[in-house]
Chains A and B, each alone.
Chain A
């Protein structure tokens, strides 16, 4: 078990709203989500001592997005900082601040608002200007390059592999029949649905968690790392950094994947899912697809197929895990009182370039 006290999640809220839907402004959505997280914790903004936000300027359509949204999260007059490498990095930084003893109640908020962005233009502008931009290797094309490498490496049947998405039960399988090819071997049905969303977590110290007297979820360990921007330098692998982050988090927490009663995964597409499972030695090379049916049957895991904001999805996986662990603990009927652990996995950067993982633990 980690000797470093990274804090407890004492409040959580997350919201998604789909494209082209009349909704509040982004600032209003963030404000409401933060208020719900604080209410969930039984705290108010007056209790908050520090804030870390995670925002993407280009997705939000502003040169420095957090300027406007700072007010929605209670930034004025508080120790606030913003990360822009990924939404879940906001939790990493907040946990380090908690571990240092600087903060007592800390807010972590991230969001993604892809409906407001010209994603095709961003795809081009995200490519470095010397090689990739001229080739047009954007988000989907890069994923397809990695996926096709995976398929070729093992001589796999694409139709069989992509039925994975249907098996998750997140949409009608009949949609798969006419799904368009985006870039072989990826079809539109293979990608998680893009959504706008906000996730807010309230962290508290051991004392705060104890004083609140309700279930809280301890951050037992975390790991994060980046890989090369260049897919060719990663041998077109999109899963290595995410898997390494999981290993780091497991070592930090003293847990194993087998001990996790629930897992939440950030998958870019089915092939990335299979590679991730294989990189963690949960399935043999080329056999990642075989791992999922049993897990789906157990019902103890979730994925980014619930909705992908393109930036805060990793933090949303953490929030989903917190909900799942508390639900698991609440529903326990066997009289046991020991801790239960879960894993949240996230990826970031250019096509799985970076990875982050958190091992969370609930006890009572």
Chain B
């Protein structure tokens, strides 16, 4: 199968809102990406757009509105929608365009303006079924508060560990000029911050962000002249949990809401494809989709980077810090910027930047292999992507 690499990366930076319209943000992200790749628009074969949920933008099927801005007129175009994991799934869809031989260069570009919706959590309440869960009322924060409680009970971690994750990521965000939140917080400040849904407090949460991002994927035999060093996609996988959170709890559960079996499965698929047998040893850096501090605590072991019983002790030893043995979210991660439609795409982009040696102040030294993950729905749709600075034949 053909090798596929990320070569161009564009990010507008992330903040609460922009004066630019939604198409203008998408256009800027597309322009930045193509310029970065030294690729002409005419040389792009297809465009894939991540967008979810579209209700946040206030325009039904807004992807149709931004086809022009995404440089997709007259080109094959499709939109991927799997909730928060959409950005990574869109990169995966673009990968199949090239791996199948149907395209040589595919642009993945999108944007989000979460604050346009007024209350994102009101929109997100409507992801649940109208008969049982919508009325509770669930939103993504209360859903993940349940997750936190279960993980805390099962593995003996607590609010102190959650706060430690927040402190780490917010410090990392100070080094990333694209991050929405760029101020460090202390352990005490996190623990004293306003309670949102116990045990999640304000500083355990991601911000509501706006911004655009894109990546250009290119076949091994079609790399643009003078483009940045390729970051090869060597493994990918996705999997899903049951929709019903009740089915992830209790003695008859088919999953465990405290963890993410589907992330374990997607990661196994990706590692197998990449020929990675021991991710804890072979992965140099990780960008894990974790919008709340507690979700990073389960994502690290679910991505195979340590055993779940070890995550707290390794966290306190600083192993996941920027200068630790296994830096997790050196960009600050989702806790420092969450423009939902492109958040998981940014995870891939950040790993690519690390592999290309272009991550600036948050560059981790000697990165050869990295992993990015995405998570969407009600902790339901997971994707994992392994990237390397060495081209290896993927094992399908």
Contacts and interface: CB of A to CB of B under 8 A. Distances in A.
A21 to B, nearest CB: 20
Interface stretch (B48-56, B175-183, B291-299): B48-56
B259 interface: no
B54 A129 contact: no
A63 B63 contact: no
Contacts of B377: 64, 66-67, 70
B316 interface: no
Contact of A225 (B60, B75, B244): B75
Given A101-B396, A226-B73, A58 B80 contact: no
B54 A79 contact: no
B306 interface: no
Nearest to A92: B78
B17 interface: no
B54 A84 contact: yes
B146 interface: no
Contacts of A99: 96, 99-102
B77 A85 contact: yes
Interface stretch (B34-42, B219-227, B233-241, B326-334): B233-241
A41 to B, nearest CB: 22
Contact of A64 (B58, B97, B127): B127
B74 A58 contact: no
A205 to B, nearest CB: 12
Nearest to B95: A100
A81 B73 contact: no
B240 A78 contact: yes
A226 B100 CA distance: 20
Interface string B93-133: 10011011110000000000000000000011011011000
Interface stretch (A120-128, A158-166, A190-198, A328-336): A120-128
Interface string B218-258: 00000000000000000001111111100000000011000
Nearest to A234: B73
Contacts of B241: 76
Given A97-B96, A126-B60, A126-B61, A82 B243 contact: no
Interface stretch (A179-187, A210-218, A256-264, A349-357): A349-357
Among the interface residues A77, A79, A84, A128, which one has the most CB atoms of the partner chain B within 10 A? A84
B67 interface: yes
Contact of B123 (A63, A102, A128): A63
The listed residue with most B CB atoms (<10 A of its CB), out of A55, A85, A224, is A85
A227 interface: yes
A57 B73 contact: no
Given A63-B53, A70-B240, A84 B396 contact: no
Contact of B74 (A126, A223, A225): A225
A51 B378 CA distance: 19
Contacts of A68: 129, 243
B220 to A, nearest CB: 14
B65 interface: yes
A352 to B, nearest CB: 11
Contacts of A61: 130
Interface stretch (B81-89, B345-353, B363-371): B81-89
Contacts of B102: 4, 96, 99
Nearest to B72: A226
A349 to B, nearest CB: 5
Contacts of B96: 93, 96-97, 99-100, 102
A100 B99 contact: yes
A228 interface: yes
A81 B100 CA distance: 17
A151 interface: no
A57 B53 CA distance: 8
B6 interface: no
B92 interface: yes
Nearest to B133: A68
Contacts of A6: 100
B61 A353 contact: no
A229 interface: yes
A83 interface: yes
B79 interface: yes
B55 A67 contact: no
B360 interface: no
B243 A83 contact: no
B378 A67 contact: yes
Interface in A83-128: 83-86, 89, 92-93, 95-97, 99-102, 122, 125-128
Most buried by B among A6, A125, A127: A125
Nearest to A50: B238
Contacts of B61: 56, 58, 84, 126, 349-350
A171 interface: no
Nearest to A100: B99
A230 interface: yes
Given A67-B378, A76-B262, A82 B75 contact: no
A269 B54 CA distance: 28
Contact of A84 (B1, B58, B80): B80
Q: Which of A64, A80, A129, A228 has the most CB of B within 10 A?
A: A64
Given A64-B127, A82-B82, A229-B68, A100 B396 contact: yes
A233 B63 CA distance: 17
Nearest to A128: B65
Contacts of B52: 64, 84
A75 B67 CA distance: 29
A42 interface: no
Contact of A349 (B67, B80, B255): B67
B242 A76 contact: yes
B376 A64 contact: yes
Contacts of A154: none
B44 interface: no
17 contacts: A4-B102, A58-B60, A62-B127, A63-B126, A64-B52, A64-B53, A76-B241, A77-B240, A80-B240, A81-B89, A83-B81, A85-B78, A93-B78, A93-B93, A130-B21, A224-B76, A227-B67
Interface of A: 3-4, 6, 55-58, 61-64, 66-68, 70-71, 75-86, 89, 92-93, 95-97, 99-102, 122, 125-130, 223-230, 233, 244, 349-350, 353-354
Q: Which 5 A-B pairs have the closest CB atoms?
A: A99-B100, A84-B81, A85-B79, A226-B77, A96-B96
Given A67-B83, A78-B239, A126-B59, 14 more contacts: A56-B61, A64-B377, A76-B262, A81-B93, A84-B52, A84-B79, A93-B78, A99-B102, A100-B100, A128-B62, A130-B21, A227-B73, A228-B67, A229-B64
